[in-house]
Each structure stands twice: as C-alpha cells, then as structure tokens.
Amino acid sequence: MPLLEVQNLTVEFPTRRGVLRALDGISFDINAGEVLGVVGESGAGKSLTGAAIIGLLEPPGRVAGGQILLNGSRIDNLSRDKLRPIRGKQIGAIFQDPLTTLNPLYSVGRQLVETIQTHLKLSDRDARERAVQWLEEVGIPAARQRIDAYPHEFSGGMRQRVVIALALCAEPRLVIADEPTTALDVSIQAQIIALLRGLTRDHGTSVMLVTHDMGVIAETADRVAVMYAGRIAEIGPVRDVVKHPAHPYTEGLMGSIPSLEHRVERLRQIDGAMPRLTAIPRGCAFNPRCPKVFDRCRNDRPELMEAGVTRAACWLYARGAAHV
Amino acid sequence: MFAFITSRILQAIPVLLVVGFIAFALFAYVGDPVTIMLGQDYTAAQREELVRALGLDQPFIVQYAKFVWAAVHGNFGLSYRLARPVSQLILERLPATIELAVTAAALALLVGVPMGVYTGIRRNSPTSRLFMVFSLIGVSLPTFLIGILLILFFAVLLGWLPSFGRGDVVHLSHWTTGLLTVSGLKALILPAITLGMFQMTLIMRLVRSEMLEVLRSDYIKFARARGLSERSINFGHALKNTLVPVITIVGLQLGGLVAFSIVTETVFQWPGMGLLLVQSIGVADIPVMSAYLLLVAVLFVAINLIVDLLYYAVDPRLRLDRRSMTGGK
C-alpha cells in the first residue's frame, strides 16, 4: 500500500465571479521512502497540491472533491484537532523562503524544542539534546553554541537547514518540500538538496519535492509528476519522463532546458502561455499550444493513460486507453 | 544597554528645555503676575519694588536660567490662587491621578488585548462582530459623554456607584490611596472605565489588525504545518509578533491617560492633577499650568524610554549589535 494516495483531488476557490477550479481531479501515489518530484509552471497547482495534503489551504480555498489517504485512512476530511497530531509527526513541510518561515522572536532552539515536545514525550533536557542533535545533523557548525541564537543570526542557507531540522525533528513519514531552494543562492541550492536527500534517505522519509527546476528533479526524484493548469499532464519514473517524454507539454518543457550534451542554436520554447484558471479551454487544457493537436483534443478531456513507461493525459496514446 | 539609556536621557534634555521654555514663556507673556499680585490699588513705587523682588527687571535669558534652575530643584513657585508651593499641590494631587490612570490602563490592556486576539482569530464569529461594533462605539463616543452616560445609569438610575469624588482615602506617608477602602474602590470604577474605554477599544482594534497580519505570515503557516497547538500559535508565536507596534501605541496612550485625564476628572470631580489644571486655567494660575506642562513632558520622555527598552526585551533583532560584540551568545 502506498504511503500517500491522492485520488481525484479537486480544489476550488469560490470568488465573486464564480468558482475557480485550481486543481482538477489529480491523482497520484507516493510510496514509502520514495521521492516524488512535482514540476510545472507558476500557477500550475504544484504548491496548492502540497497545501491541500497537509490541510493548509488558504481560505476560501477548499477541497471540493476526491480524497487524500495516508496509510490507507482519509486525512482530507479531518477536523483541525485530529489533523494536528498528523502535521509534523506524519507529514512535515518545508517552505520556500527560509527568511520568513522562522519566527523571528524565538531562538531556533526554542522553536525546535517546542516542535519536538509537541509530538514526542521528552523532558526539557532530552528535547534540547535532541534539538542539538538535529542541528548537527543538518550541518549547523557549533550547534551546541548556536542553539540559543535567533534566526536573524543565521545566513539564508543556514536558516533553510534549520527549517529542514524543524520539519524533520518529529520524524515524519512524508515531507512536502515546496520549492525549498528557490529563495537561495545558486551555490547553496545543491547543498540543501543534497542535505534533504541524504537526511530523508537515512530516516526512510518520503518526499514530495515541489519545484520548477527540472535539474533538481532529475538529480533527486524517483518519479516525477508534470502539472499543467491544475491537472497532471504526465507522471512516471524520472529517467523516462526526462529522456522520453510522452506528453507534448513535457516534451516542450524538456526541450527548453539547456544541455551540455546536445548543442543547439536556440532553445526550443512553447508558444503562448498557460491559460488562466478563469479561461481553461475545453478538452485538453494544453490544446491551444500543442504542436500535435487534433480534433479530439479540442472537445474531450484526456485522463491519464498508459504511454509507454509513463502515464500521460494525452489523446495521442488513446489506443492504449481501452484498459485504463 | 547602559550607553543606550544614557544617550536617550541626553536626548531628552533638549526636549525638556524647549518645553520648559514654553512653560516659562507662559509666565512672561500670558497675563501680568505683578498686576494680579498687587490687586487693584497700588502705587508705582510698590509696583517697582515687587518687580525687583520677583526679578522681573532682569534680562529675559537670566530669568529663564533662573526658572530652569528652580525647576530642576523641583521649585515651580507659588500658586497665585492658593498661595502654596506648586510642587506641593501637584504632589498632593498626583496619587489620585496615577491610581486612576493605572487602573484605566490595566483595564484597557487586560480587556483590550484578549478581545483583539479573539476577534483576530475568529474573524467572522458573531461575538467578534459584537466586539467590533462595541469598539466602534468606544472609539467614536467622546469621553465626557461616556462618563455622563455611566453616571446616569450606574449612579443615578441604579444607585450602585458614586457619581463623583474619590471615596474614603487612606494616607500612607506622602501617598493617599483609595484602593484600600470599599468606597474608594467603588468610586474608582466609573472614572476608570470612562478613562480606559477609548484606549481599550483602540488596543483591541490594533491587536486585531496586527493579528490578522501576523496570522497570514509564513512562520505561522510553518508553525501550523509542524502541528503546534492553536494556543501556542495564537498566544505565543502570533501575539508576541504583534507586540512591537502595540507597545508603541500603548506607551503613547498611557502617557496620554495621565496627561489628559482632565476630562474624566472634571466629569467625576476626581481630585487629581487634571482637575487641578482645569481649576488653575480658570483663574490663569500660570505657575500651576507651567509645572503641569513640564510634568507631562517628563512623563512622555520617560514612557518613550521605557517603550524603547521594551522593544529590546521583545525583539532579539534589535539586540544584534550587543550580541555581535560579545560574539554570539
């Protein structure tokens, strides 16, 4: 049984001008110990998926359909009180900007100890000891001396290490990392990703890694889900999605990444822009920009279907659709 | 820290000199103390003698220096009206005003902050809406009207509480207190509510808007994502982050409570400094007025210093230079 199952998840935002459907029936699994990368353009719904899983959708956003199962039991319909022991202990979260995710008025030690004691029955002394261990584990030099320092006394990269320690300190089974390196210097990004990958591997933690950096995904993830306009366009093992993309959108995405192996005069680009949520076209959401579009794409919406090793939401693979 | 306090006190000196100058200018240009003191019939010789005795024939700057020198020693001259030292008059009236202001401030904080937190968290609950309507009334109704309405209901119609005065007071050496007698406490209730009402509703609205702001922040979202309890998030992480702006406003407001309790003291005939000031203004008793002016200035300077120190206590980011000098912790 997969650790996390997301089935047909739909997230809507009621607005004055009608209901916006930000996530439209997305389904995927994450297995124990697995790293699932989630890529897509801004506004494709990547971060929203993570927020929905951990129950932190900003109102008025709400789960309008589908379900989310953790270890086979539903967590999308839990009350706030029932959800609290799951957050941090079962599912951890790492956010984008380490400069704003730490409370500026509490020392990092205090934030760690509070989180540890919320989930584990430990005395003040043991919790503090555990906090020091975590700071050492995420690579804070002189952790024992630095534990009473405040967030502003750390650099951005160091703060993100503290954030990772905070997200992992109650040993969650799954951690949702929402663009954990976007706000960092390029030189630090690789370190943080390596740290995250190493720690989660050591602790057997599954990761849902949300990013728009295909390079990070290619290095880190086992499988990847490509999102487009609130839907999953393609999902499959990283190697196959990168080398042999099935969905024309994924193909375009891969073509737009510079590579050392293949020298090209000019990187390919996908014409047009992702549609806004208010104006998602009928049929396949990608059809106005798709180079391989045909009639069916403009009328019927494709579900995920077998496309070689990966699964893609594209009518090009409709012959295999019979058994899906 | 010591250097900081010293520099703040040094900065306060020019402020007080300027206020002192204005207070002194009152003496020099508002009314003529000689005429007031001599009464209706006097000879030119008598006048000249008094002018010399009062030192009014000396150059302006010398007079100002003398005034400052006397003020530093707590000597503000004699009240024209009561012919007693002004410092003594103010010291007699000070306890009543301080007790009233502190009670009003405590009321405003102890009720205003929790109401602000509550309305910040449960933005749309009926209770929150009720609080918001109530706060609108508190912010917009003038103090004297609130006082008069309270007197009408609780003193006149219901007869529960006295409508004026301070009740029985107990003398503790130089301090007279109304907090130790039942009638003193009863007499304190209505004026304290009247004086504290505006501050309470202001604090509530301020805390609410700051809470709304902070609750949207990433670190609160991250705290939620770590499964911390609602109590810890709302009253620890969120409330503490609202404190810096709240302290600023509350500090200034508390200064205002002491300085401008004039209206409340007049409505309730509360024997404090405010009432003294109003009575003094009525008869142009300038020494009392200028001493009051200086006292208020000192009060504001002192409160600002305390507010600055509280910033340091609340926000570790401001302690940065001190920490880096000692090399981390």
Domain boundaries, chain A: 34-55+80-221, 243-323
Contact criterion met (CB < 8 Å) for A167 and B226: yes
- Closest listed residue to residue A209, CA positions, set A195, A225, A198: A225
The reply to whether B33 and B180 lie within a common domain is no
Contacting residues for A94 by C-beta, under 8 A, at least 6 apart: A160, A163, A164, A167, A175, A176, A177, A178, A180, A196
DSSP A87: B
d(CA A283, CA A96): 33
At B31, the pLDDT band (50, 70, 90 cuts) reads low
Contact criterion met (CB < 8 Å) for A104 and B230: no
Q: For residue B82, tell me if it sits in a domain.
A: no
Q: How close does chain A come to B261, measured CA to CA in Å?
A: 35
Residue with tokens 């002016």, as numbered in its chain: B293
The reply to whether B263 and B224 lie within a common domain is yes
For the cut 90, the answer to whether the pLDDT of residue B311 exceeds it is no
The reply to whether B182 and B33 lie within a common domain is no
Which pLDDT value is given to residue B260? 67
**Cβ contacts of A150 on chain B, cutoff 8 Å:** 316-317
Highest mean pLDDT among A162-166, B149-153, B177-181: A162-166
Contact criterion met (CB < 8 Å) for B222 and A102: yes
Contact criterion met (CB < 8 Å) for A103 and B241: yes
- B122, B213, B219: which to substitute to probe chain A, counting the most A Cβ within 10 Å? B219
Contact criterion met (CB < 8 Å) for B328 and A153: yes
Give how many domains chain B has, as a whole number: 2
Q: For residue B147, tell me if it sits in a domain.
A: yes
Q: How close does chain B come to A202, measured CA to CA in Å?
A: 20
The answer to whether B97 touches B273, Cβ cutoff 8 Å, is yes
Task: Give CATH superfamily name and number for A34-55+80-221.
Answer: P-loop containing nucleotide triphosphate hydrolases (3.40.50.300)
- Closest listed residue to residue A131, CA positions, set A89, A169, A88: A169
**Cβ contacts of A119 on chain B, cutoff 8 Å:** 227
User: For B273, how many CA atoms within 13 A lie in the half-sphere containing its CB?
Assistant: 26
Which pLDDT value is given to residue A324? 38
- Minimum-distance CB partner of B240 among A54, A105, A114: A105
DSSP A317: G
**Cβ contacts of A85 on chain B, cutoff 8 Å:** 227
The reply to whether B46 and B128 lie within a common domain is no
- Minimum-distance CB partner of B227 among A100, A118, A146: A118
Contact criterion met (CB < 8 Å) for B316 and A107: yes
What strands lie across the sheet with A231-237, from one edge to the other?
A91-94, A174-178, A206-210, A35-39, A223-228, A231-237, A310-312, A305-307
d(CA A178, CA A40): 12
The reply to whether B7 and B131 lie within a common domain is no
The answer to whether A152 touches A208, Cβ cutoff 8 Å, is no
d(CA A316, CA A307): 9
Contact criterion met (CB < 8 Å) for B328 and A146: yes
- Which helix or strand (DSSP H or E) is residue A145 part of? helix A143-146
Count CB pairs under 8 A between chains A and B.
87
Low-confidence ranges of chain A (pLDDT < 70): 262-264, 319-324
pLDDT tens for B180-228 read 777 788 888 888 888 888 888 988 999 999 999 898 888 999 999 998 9
**Cβ contacts of A79 on chain B, cutoff 8 Å:** none
The answer to whether A236 touches A224, Cβ cutoff 8 Å, is yes
Phi, psi of B57 (to 5 degrees): -85, -5
Q: How close does chain B come to A84, measured CA to CA in Å?
A: 5
User: What would the two tokens of residue A46 be?
Assistant: 């990547």
Q: Which domain holds residue B209?
A: 87-326
Contacting residues for A319 by C-beta, under 8 A, at least 6 apart: none
Which pLDDT value is given to residue B325? 43
At B99, the pLDDT band (50, 70, 90 cuts) reads confident
d(CA B96, CA B112): 23
The reply to whether B164 and B282 lie within a common domain is yes
User: What would the two tokens of residue B36 be?
Assistant: 């007031």
d(CA A80, CA A82): 6
Strands A223-228 and A35-39 come out as: parallel
Chain B residue with CA closest to A144: the answer is B329
DSSP A277: G
Q: For residue B174, tell me if it sits in a domain.
A: yes
The reply to whether B44 and B144 lie within a common domain is no
The answer to whether B258 touches B98, Cβ cutoff 8 Å, is yes
pLDDT tens for A230-285 read 899 999 999 999 888 889 998 888 877 777 776 667 777 788 888 888 888 888 88
The reply to whether B248 and B108 lie within a common domain is yes
d(CA A271, CA A277): 18
The reply to whether B177 and B215 lie within a common domain is yes
- Minimum-distance CB partner of A149 among B227, B237, B328: B328
d(CA B307, CA B252): 9
User: What would the two tokens of residue A282 be?
Assistant: 């009928």
Q: How close does chain A come to B244, measured CA to CA in Å?
A: 11
d(CA A149, CA A154): 8
User: What would the two tokens of residue B297 be?
Assistant: 């200035």
Contact criterion met (CB < 8 Å) for B219 and A100: yes
- Closest listed residue to residue A6, CA positions, set A206, A166, A205: A206
**Cβ contacts of A114 on chain B, cutoff 8 Å:** 228, 232
The reply to whether B312 and B272 lie within a common domain is yes
The reply to whether B180 and B238 lie within a common domain is yes
- Minimum-distance CB partner of A87 among B226, B316, B328: B226
Lowest mean pLDDT among B136-145, B207-216, B228-237, B318-327: B318-327
Q: For residue B16, tell me if it sits in a domain.
A: yes
- Closest listed residue to residue A290, CA positions, set A265, A259, A313, A318: A313
Chain B residue set in contact with A, beta carbons under 8 Å? 217-219, 221-230, 232, 237, 240-241, 314-317, 320, 323, 328-329
Q: How close does chain B come to A153, measured CA to CA in Å?
A: 8
* ipTM over the 0.90 cut-off: no
**Cβ contacts of B230 on chain A, cutoff 8 Å:** 80, 84
Residues 109-148 of A with CB under 8 A from B: 114-115, 118-119, 145-146, 148
d(CA B153, CA A210): 63
The reply to whether B35 and B182 lie within a common domain is no
- Minimum-distance CB partner of B314 among A80, A105, A167: A105
B318: domain CATH number is 1.10.3720.10
Contact criterion met (CB < 8 Å) for B237 and A148: no
Chain B residue with CA closest to A87: the answer is B227
- Closest listed residue to residue B228, CA positions, set A114, A78, A170, A94: A114
Q: For residue B77, tell me if it sits in a domain.
A: no
At residue A303, what is the residue type? E
